[in-house]
Amino acid sequence: MSQPIDHSQFPDLPPEVLNAFAAVQFELSVERAARQHKQAVVAEKDAFITELKELIEKLESQVQDYRRTKFGPKSEKLDPTQMELALEDLESAIAETQAQIAFVEEKIAASAVDPEKAVPRKERKARALPQNLPRVERVIEPDSIACPLRLRQHGADRRRSDGTARPNSGLLPGDRHDPS
């Protein structure tokens, strides 16, 4: 970090230069404070994210335990009252974890910038191309519209000579890959 300049070492400097140095030092200190504030906000958000990830993992494991207890192979062997007690314990743990997640989300919302003070983001508008650009319309025609593999049109229903429907093979009768 830059240290303030000792003006006594330069007694011959005009007052305008000293004032300019003071202004630059003030701007640098403001920028430094803003950077430190941003770093603190990022660190706080990272802590919130880490805490939420841990709570989500905890909640996922609790839900997995709940499902295993309720639907697992041992669930058929347990006495119904014991099953209800185990499920109640797991449900209360899940509810507690959900409350912790809600609390962290409230902390995140409280630390967010006030929406009234935040500068709204400008909407991007689709812009037309400039009028002075030359307009060129090109129609590209194929050399031939005949299919080189002589496939029939997609979805066309073909019937065999006996009147039964033929599987949609994509080939015309008489083609070498014709299954009939």
> What average pLDDT does this structure show over 63-78?
77
Q: What is the pLDDT, as a whole number, of residue 33? A: 92
Judge whether residue 36 has pLDDT over 90. yes
Residue bearing the bigger pLDDT, 143 or 38: 38
- pLDDT tier at 31, thresholds 50, 70, 90: very high
First vs last C-alpha separation in the chain = 85
Percent of the chain scoring above 70 in pLDDT: 71
- pLDDT tier at 173, thresholds 50, 70, 90: low
Judge whether residue 171 has pLDDT over 80. no
- pLDDT tier at 148, thresholds 50, 70, 90: low
Q: What is the pLDDT, as a whole number, of residue 2? A: 58
Q: What is the pLDDT, as a whole number, of residue 143? A: 77
> What average pLDDT does this structure show over 3-15?
74
- Residue 72: CB atoms within 10 Å: 12
pTM of the model: 0.44
Distances (CA, A) of 4 to 23, 25, 72, 114: 12, 7, 70, 35
Estimate the share of the chain in helix, then strand, then coil, as percent rounded to the nearest 5.
55, 0, 45
- The Cα 98–Cα 92 span in angstroms is 10
Residues pairing with 151 in the sheet: 171
